[in-house]
Structure formats: structure tokens, C-alpha cells
Amino acid sequence: MMYARREHTSSLLSSGKVLVAGGYGHNGFMNNSELYNPTTGIWTSTGSMTDPRSQHQASVLLNGKVLVTGGYGLNYSFLNSTELYDETTGLWTVTGNMNDNRAYHTASVLSDGKVLVAGGYGFSNTITSAELYDPMTGIWTSTGTMNDARYQHTASVLLDGRVLVTGGYGLSSAELYDPMTGIWTSTGTMNYDRYQHTASVLSDGKVLVTNGYDNYLSLNTSELYDPSTGIWTVTGNTNIARVVSTISTLIGGKVLIAGGYSNTIELYTQSTGTWSAVSNMTYERTAHAASVLDNGNVLITGGRGSRYPVYNTELYDPSIHRWLVASNMNNDRIYHTTSLLLNGKVLATGGYGSSNILTSAELYDPSTRTWSLTGNMSYGRYQHTASVLSNGKVLVAGGYGVDGFLDSAELYDPMTGIWTLTGSMTNYRSQHQASVLFDGRVLVGGGIGLNYVLLNSAELYDPNTGIWAVTGNMNNARVQHTASVLSDGKVLAVGGYGTYSLASTELYNPMTGIWTLTGNMSSVRQQHTASLLSDGKLLVTGGVDSNWYTNSAESYDPSTGIWSTTDTMNYFRKGHTASVLDDDTVLVVDGSGWCEGMNTAEIYDPSTHEWINTANGNQERHEHSATVLSDGMVLITGGRFGSACLNSAELYQP
């Protein structure tokens, strides 16, 4: 915006533009106003109001004009003045004064076009009075008095034309105004006293009331009012308590709540009665304003930042990819594994925590977005592998433990939550790769062994016997490489570090147990990712090449054995994750680059070979894990932020 402001109003005009008016700025109460054009994203000045004001109300009339009412004026005086904005001229004109001076009131446009103003605070008194503005005459007339004096309350026009007023300072009461009779009647009492809360009419006619203060504390509670019964029922809590936030009903029926001494936003889904955290706003704000644009986006304007009114505005686009906050894991983890179980839950195992090697394991439940601890492994381990077997059990093998490199392996049974030891590998190894073959066996290859020797050995685990058997050696010792099962059942090992960084790749044939070299990549790389696409090609991204971090990407065609370069990523990165989404695009998340940790995400489109930036996550991280869930969302867990290990988790929603 052109001016920093808080406690202003934001109104969507018939042209699709947004009018922001008044408020409190760096120099006190404001009378200026400005227009936002969603087509150009540009703000322009328009006419100024006659009276500077904040804590006023703005109502878009049926004729397209905007009526502003009351509020605080110069010297903190309570105003009874009202004025009209005409977009066709860009001018404000004074209209009739209200009968009462008031701020912290509500204003509601009724079905007949009149405007109902109710309650508020004026001249040291909380107000019970209500009055009606007639746009045809410009005159205010008193109407029925509310049963309770109230301010900092909410007012919602119901689908039947009545107006529901809720709460206010020190109140849990609610009442209904009937425009046909001009009479207020009490209705069901809310479960909580609340003021500075929000209210939103849902598509089925119910009213969602959320957050605010009770007499002492800020609230995270929400409740629903059913006009057919007059009864309030408790619904899901928001993730944090909020006051002086904004609430917006989106196209499609979800409800967006934003800010309130916070930069966080959350979405309410009525069918589940739950709130889910989504990507944060760039700035903390309170006493801001929000308008749902004609294209469905939400424009959030101004407000108070950590201390002062702010100029900045931001747009929330419900249609774009976004990040949701999941609950934290019970342990900080880096160099851990995550595995999608057959029941849809995700198993996180081991890793390195804040100061120790972990034996713990925990389960993520997508239906509740919560983590719960499950049985501990027999050995603490990190930089190990985890493989989901055809019987649903999870095989964990090798890694680094409290006594050094491990050869042990153990099985997790999701039915019991218990780990049992199984046969040990023939080699101690860490930073190796494991691949589940089409016949159910598990191929393990490469890594670092005893005395930090780099390994070219490979071995096979048979779930039927629990025994490991040696198979053919790779042509190159490899660590920090990738291994991918191709559509023909062969396994492609790519790059890594041997006696030097490698560009070589090789294929394992499960029928013969032999590794054969195939085409070299265009450049050496280690700490990269590999993703198998639906056309059978393998995409590798980033990592470290001969010049350190790289943003290059290339794909392998199994039908020719040839690598071909594709467009480069927008960021240099290693220690990142890559996940194939349901539409066959590839999501790459975070990692570390030339400037260390990153909080960036981008998507590769195989049909165009282009990389497109997508929404950033909520936490900078690298050496994390990523799991594509059954519903197509991607769960990101743990990793490192600076020198700290993380227990946070978040979800990418395509």
C-alpha cells in the first residue's frame, strides 16, 4: 500500500477493485484511501474521507457505493459521522449522522439494502442501541434495542435475512435481529465469553465463531451456531490462540483465518471440523484487513507488525500448491529414514538427535497429522536403510551406532509395533543403498565399512529365510550414491564417491547377480537424488560435482543406456529430497547450497523439461526425509537447520 495503516477497512467493489480506507498510521488517524487493482497488482490513491477515522465500519451498498460509519476520530473522539464513496467519481460525500457516536460497533447490509448498525462503545458507555441507514434517503432511524450492551462483538447476516450478534466484552450471549419486526430476541449462549473474535457464515447457513479473548486469556476455541435450533456446538480448535485476526470464507466453502499477533494462517474444513495450518504470511500482523477477490484469492492488507503499522500487503491463493504444518515428531532427527507402510502411516526410524544416536521409532498418522511413539529398535543407528517388504514389515539394515559401523538388521511389524532381530549382513556398512527387488528380496550395495573403507560389495536379504547372501560386486566402490529399481526390474546405481567423485553408473541384473557398466552421466555427482518417472526414465538432480554444489539435472533412458541433460534447477542444492507426485512431476525440497541451508522448493515437469518454483516450506532444512503419502501429499520430516537437529514436520499439498 502507499500508506502504513492498521484498524482500517477493506471493501471489494463491484469493479473487482479493493478500497482501503482510513485507519491509524505513523502520524495518527487517517482520512486517506487507496484502491488495489487485482489485474495489475498496483495501488493508486483515491479521494480522502472528510473525517480521519479508525475502528470504523465499511459496508458495500447494493448500489455499489461504500458507506463508512463512526469509529475513533481526532483526539480519540467517538464519531457519529458517516460518508459515502462513489467509485465512478473517486469522491467521498457526507451523508446523515448516526443517532449515537460509536466505535467497535458492527454494520450489516440487510436484504432490503438498508444497513443495520449495532452496539459499540461511545462516550464511556457500552451501547445497546441499534439503528438503520436508508440509502434512498441518507437518513438514520433507531430500531429495536439489543438485550445486552456490547462492543467488540460480531454480526452475521443469516441466510434467512436475520442478523446474529455474538459476544462482546465480557459476554457469551448471542441475539437475533429480525428486520421484519425490528425486534431483538435472545438465542443460545456460546460456550465461551469472547470479544475481538471472528464470525463467518458457512455455505449451509451455520455460523462459525472463532478465537478472541475471554475475560482474561486469548482463545483457540471455535464453535458453530445452528440457526434452525439456536444451539451452539463446539468444533475443532485452531492451532494457536488469536485475537484481532481476519476470517474469510473461500470459494469452495473452506474458511481462512489469518494473523492475530502472528504471521500464521489456518484453514477450517467443515466436513471434518478441523483446522489445518498452511503456509505462513511473510509478516506478522494484527488489526489488519482481508478481502476475498473475485478470482478467489484473499488480499491481506496492513495491520500492526511487531510494533508499528505496516505498508505491506500479501495475497493468499487457495489454488496454488501450499504447505501445511504437521505436528512435531517426538524426537529431533537427522540421517533418519521414513517409510510409507501398507496401512498409510509413515514409520520414522533412528537417526541422530540433539546429542545422541536414536533407537526410537515413531508413526505418523495422516488422518490426524500426529506422531506417536512405537517400539524401539534393538540398536541405535543413523545413515542406515529402511525397506518395506511385500509382507508389510520394514527391514532396517546397517548404519552407524554407538560402537561404530553396524552389520545388524532388524524387522518392524506394524501389527504389533515390535522390532525383532534378523540375520546380520556379511559386511558392516553405513551410507549404503537398499532396493526391494520384484521377487521380494532386498539388494544392499556400497557404503562405508570398517576402518572407513569404501565398499563395492553387494548382498541380498531373503525375507523367507532371514538370511543375507553375497552377490556380485559393483565395478566401483560407491558412497553417497543412489540406487533405483527400474521398470524392467534391474537396479541402477548412479554416481557417488569412490576413490574420487564418480560419473559412472551401473546396472544390477537380479537374474544373474552381475553388475554391468552403462552410460556415464555428463558430470560427476554425489549427494544427489534419483527419481523414477512413469515413462521409465530416471531423473537425477543436484548434489556435488567437481565444482562443488550443482543445480544440474539429467535423465537416464534404460532403452538406450544414455544420459541426457535437462534444464537446470533454479537453485544449487545437495542434501535435498526429490519426490514424484501423482501427476508425474517431481518436487525438490530444500537442501543446502552455496549459502548453506535453504527454504526453497521447485517442481520439474517431464513434459516440458522445465523447473518451476513453488511455495516455500515453513522451515529451512537439509538432510531431511520426504515421503509421498497415499493421498498424494508429501511429508517432510526432520533434518538440520544450522547446527540444530529438527523435530518439525510439514506437508506439501499439490
What digits encode the pLDDT tens for the residues 275-320? Answer: 988 877 878 899 999 999 999 999 999 999 877 888 889 888 887 7
Name the band, by pLDDT with cuts 50, 70 and 90, for residue 634.
Answer: very high
Supply the DSSP symbol for 26. T
For the segment 568-583, what is each residue's pLDDT rounded down to a tens digit?
Answer: 999 999 999 999 999 9
Phi, psi of 526 (to 5 degrees): -140, 165
pLDDT at 5: 96
Query: Residue 205: which residues within 8 A CB-CB, separation 6 or more?
Result: 158, 159, 160, 227, 228
The three-class DSSP label of residue 332 is: coil
Please choose, from the candidates 605, 553, 610, 557, the residue with its C-alpha nearest in 3D space to the C-alpha of residue 576: 553
**pLDDT score recorded for residue 594:** 66
- Tens-digit pLDDT profile for residues 188-238: 999 999 999 999 999 999 999 999 999 889 999 999 999 999 999 999 999
What's the 3-state SS for 301-330?
Answer: ECCECCCCEECCEEEECCCCCEEEEECCCC
The answer to whether the CB of 20 falls within 8 A of the CB of 289 is yes
Tell me the chain's radius of gyration from C-alpha atoms. Answer: 31
Measured between alpha carbons, how far is 57 from 112 in angstroms, rounded to an integer? 19
Average pLDDT over the chain reads 95
User: In percent, how much of the chain has pLDDT > 70?
Assistant: 99
DSSP states along 99-119: SS--BS-EEEE-TTS-EEEE-
Cα separations (Å) of 38 from 13, 45, 147, 294? 11, 15, 42, 9
What pLDDT sits at residue 307? 74
Q: Mind listing the pLDDT tens digit for each residue in 364-420?
A: 999 888 999 999 999 999 999 999 999 999 999 999 999 999 999 999 999 999 999
Each residue's pLDDT tens digit, 494-551: 999 998 999 999 999 999 999 999 999 999 999 999 999 999 999 999 999 987 899 9
Write out pLDDT tens, residues 106-159.
999 999 999 999 999 998 899 999 999 999 999 999 999 999 999 999 999 999
- Residue 595 reports pLDDT greater than 60: no
Closest listed residue to residue 268, CA positions, set 336, 216, 211, 214: 211
CB 316 within 8 A of CB 247: no
599-623 pLDDT, tens digit per residue, is 899 999 999 999 998 888 888 899 9
The pTM of this model reads 0.66
CB burial of 7-23 (b: ≥16 within 10 Å; e: otherwise) equals bbbbbbbeeebbbbbbb
Q: Is residue 321 predicted with pLDDT exceeding 70?
A: no
Torsion of CA 428, 393, 417, 405, to 10 degrees: 10
Residue 596: per-residue pLDDT:
66
pLDDT at 593: 80
Q: Which one-letter DSSP state was computed for residue 648?
A: -
Cβ neighbours for 215, distance < 8 A, ≥ 6 positions apart: 170, 193
Supply 638's cell numbers.
Answer: 526432520
* Helix (H/G/I), strand (E/B), else coil: 64: coil
* Average pLDDT value for residue range 5-15: 96
Provide mean pLDDT across the span 169-191: 98
Domains, the chain, in order of start with CATH, read 1-145 (2.120.10.80), 154-280 (2.120.10.80), 326-577 (2.120.10.80)
Task: Output the 3-class SS for 373-424.
Answer: EECCCCCCCECCEEEECCCCCEEEECCEECCEECCCEEEEECCCCEEEEECC
What is the C-alpha to C-alpha distance for residues 631 and 214, in angstroms, rounded to an integer? 38
How many whole angstroms separate alpha carbon 597 and alpha carbon 511? 43
Whole-number Cα distances in Å, 36 to 6, 290, 542:
16, 12, 41
